[in-house]
Amino acid sequence: MPAPASRAQDIAARLSAVDFEPRVIRYADRLQVEADVSEPSSPARWQAVIAALARADRFGLSGSADGLTAWAVIWTKACAHAQCGETPRKETDEPQQPSDLAAGHWS
């Protein structure tokens, strides 16, 4: 399997190819690729986004008043605890909303 940084760059490049502006965020145990995907889009563009995100260890959509953010996580450390099965969250994230659960974000 390619190195985590290569995988994150690949996902970011695929999101860029369909005109999103990805950002790669480095955490202690993972790389997280995010892109704002709130603009209306064609089915083909959404398929490309999902195909890019599916290359990660975990992926999903998070919604807020500001819109939708697609995210993909690539673990950089071997997981020996429950965190690897949880939805990655930032320290400032709000508690999960029912819309998060409907989108497949289980914690």
7-26 pLDDT per residue, tens: 999 999 999 999 999 999 99
CA 54 to chain centre: 9
pLDDT greater at residue 103 or residue 72: 72
Asked, for residue 107, whether it belongs to a domain, the answer is no
56 neighbors 102 (Cβ within 8 angstroms): no
Amino acid at 106: W
Check which CATH number belongs to the domain holding 84 and give it: 3.30.980
- pLDDT surpassing 50 at residue 88: yes
Asked, for residue 57, whether it belongs to a domain, the answer is yes
DSSP 74: E
pTM above threshold 0.75: no
- pLDDT surpassing 90 at residue 36: yes
Work out the mean pLDDT of the chain and round it to a whole number: 81
pLDDT of residue 77: 82
Asked, for residue 26, whether it belongs to a domain, the answer is yes
pLDDT of residue 38: 84
The number of domains in the chain is 1
pLDDT of residue 56: 97
